[in-house]
A = this chain, B = another copy of it.
Amino acid sequence: MVSKAKKIVALSGGVGGAKLAVGLAEVLTQDELLIVANTADDFTHLGLRICPDLDTVMYNLAGIQNTQQGWGIEGETWQFMQQLGKLDGEDWFLLGDKDLATHTVRTQLLAQGENLTDITAKLFKQLGVAVNVVPMCNQSVSTQMQTDEGTLAFQDYFVRRRCVPVVSSYQFSDIELATIQPDFAAALADEALAAVIICPSNPFVSVEPILSVPGVREALKKTTAPVIAVSPIIGGQALKGPAAKMMNELGMPQSATAVAQHYGDLIDGFVIDSVDADLQAEIEALGVACIVTQSIMKTQQDKIDLANICIDFAANIKGHRV
C-alpha cells in the first residue's frame, strides 16, 4: 500500500496570504496543499459578486497579480471606471476592465445555481492554475464593522472609508448559517494532515471569519496536526491593511505577541520576523513554539523560503493534544 501524501491546509486572506500561498504551491504538489480563502469580505457591488481574497489568491497563483497595487490584474486598464464616473455610477470600488470579467462570470454562474467552490475551480482551471483553492464556505457571510461612524459593511470600511473609522468591534453576519466547505472539512479530518498554516493575514477580518465557520475551531482543536501561524505584524506594523490600527483600536498592544495571544491555544507554533526577535521568549512563554525568520516576501524566492520554513517548523513541533 502506497503511503498517503502529507496534506497541508493554509488559511489565507488577501495579499500577505496570497504570497505565502504562492510559496506553498511551489514546494508542495497539488494533492498536498489545500488553500482556504476568507470570503467574509465578499460583497455584491454594481450587481456583481466580488470575492477580493479568493481573487487575490487566484491572480497571485496565476502569476498575473498587479504587484504595484497589491490587488487586481497586471496591465489592467480603467476604461470602465472612467466611464462609470462620467455616468455618476458608484465608482469608489475600483474594478479594472480585466478584473470585471472574473466578477461577471462568477455572478452569472452563481445566478445559474453553481456554488462558489465549483465556480472558483472553474476560474482557476481557465487561468491554468493547478492549485486547490476553496472558499471557507459556499454561503454568503459578510463582515460588519462597528465603528465611530456606525456599522459599516467591510468594503465600505476598507475601501470607501480607507480604514479611517475607529473600529470598536466586528461581526460576521450569517456565519451561523455557513457550512464548512467540504474539502476543507475533509482535509482537517484527514489522517494525513501534516499542518495547518495560518498565513500572515489580518487576524481579525481575514483569518477569524475562517475560524468562525461552524465546526472549524472544533476541527482545529481535534486534529493532531500542528497549527502554526505567521505573524502579520512586523515591528508593530502591518505590511498592508488595517491590522495594526485595528489592534490599537480594539485595545490590544500592536505587536506580534498580541497576535499570538489572540490565536491563543488554537496554535502550536508562531513565526515572527527577524525584527521582532526580542519577542521570541515572551511568545514561547505563552506556551507556543516560536521561530524567528525573515518573513517579508518581496521575491518569489522569499515566498518559497517562508513556505519551506513553515513546513519544516510544523514538522518539528508536536501538534496540540498529542
Q: Which of B100, B122, B126 contacts A80 (CB 8 A)?
A: B100
Whether A97 contacts B79 by the Cβ 8 Å rule is yes
- Does A67 lie at the interface of the complex (its beta carbon under 8 Å from any beta carbon of B)? no
- Does A298 lie at the interface of the complex (its beta carbon under 8 Å from any beta carbon of B)? no
Whether B108 contacts A83 by the Cβ 8 Å rule is no
What separation, in Å, do the CA atoms of A86 and B124 have in the docked complex? 11
Whether B47 contacts A88 by the Cβ 8 Å rule is no
Closest to A125 in B: B88
Whether A47 contacts B101 by the Cβ 8 Å rule is no
Residues of B within 8 A of A1 (CB): none
What separation, in Å, do the CA atoms of A270 and B73 have in the docked complex? 54
Known: A77-B77, A88-B126, A126-B88. A83 touches B101 (CB 8 A): yes
Residues of B within 8 A of A86 (CB): 101, 126-127
Residues of B within 8 A of A46 (CB): 104, 107-108
Nearest CB in chain B: distance from A66 CB, A: 13
Whether A101 contacts B77 by the Cβ 8 Å rule is no
Whether B82 contacts A98 by the Cβ 8 Å rule is yes
Whether B101 contacts A80 by the Cβ 8 Å rule is yes
Closest to A109 in B: B89
Interface centre among A90, A98, A111, A123 (most CB of B within 10 A): A98
- Does A87 lie at the interface of the complex (its beta carbon under 8 Å from any beta carbon of B)? yes
- Does A102 lie at the interface of the complex (its beta carbon under 8 Å from any beta carbon of B)? yes
Residues from 30 to 85 in A contacting B, C-beta threshold 8 Å: 46-48, 73, 76-77, 79-84
Residues of B within 8 A of A189 (CB): none
Nearest CB in chain B: distance from A56 CB, A: 16
| Interface 1/0 per residue, A283-303 and B, CB below 8 Å | 000000000000000000000
| Interface 1/0 per residue, A115-144 and B, CB below 8 Å | 000000011001100000000000000000
- Does A105 lie at the interface of the complex (its beta carbon under 8 Å from any beta carbon of B)? yes
Residues of B within 8 A of A87 (CB): 101-102, 105, 123, 126-127
Closest to A100 in B: B80
What separation, in Å, do the CA atoms of A47 and B106 have in the docked complex? 11
What separation, in Å, do the CA atoms of A48 and B83 have in the docked complex? 16
Whether A98 contacts B126 by the Cβ 8 Å rule is no
Whether A79 contacts B82 by the Cβ 8 Å rule is no
Known: A47-B47, A79-B77, A107-B47. A101 touches B89 (CB 8 A): yes
Closest to A73 in B: B83
Residues of B within 8 A of A105 (CB): 84, 87-89
Whether B101 contacts A84 by the Cβ 8 Å rule is yes
Nearest CB in chain B: distance from A77 CB, A: 5
What separation, in Å, do the CA atoms of A82 and B257 have in the docked complex? 47
Q: Could you give 15 example pairs across A and B, Cβ below 8 Å?
A: A47-B107, A77-B77, A77-B79, A79-B96, A79-B98, A80-B100, A83-B99, A83-B101, A84-B101, A84-B104, A84-B105, A86-B126, A87-B102, A87-B105, A87-B123
Which 4 pairs across A and B sit closest by C-beta, in order of nearness?
A79-B97, A83-B101, A83-B98, A97-B97
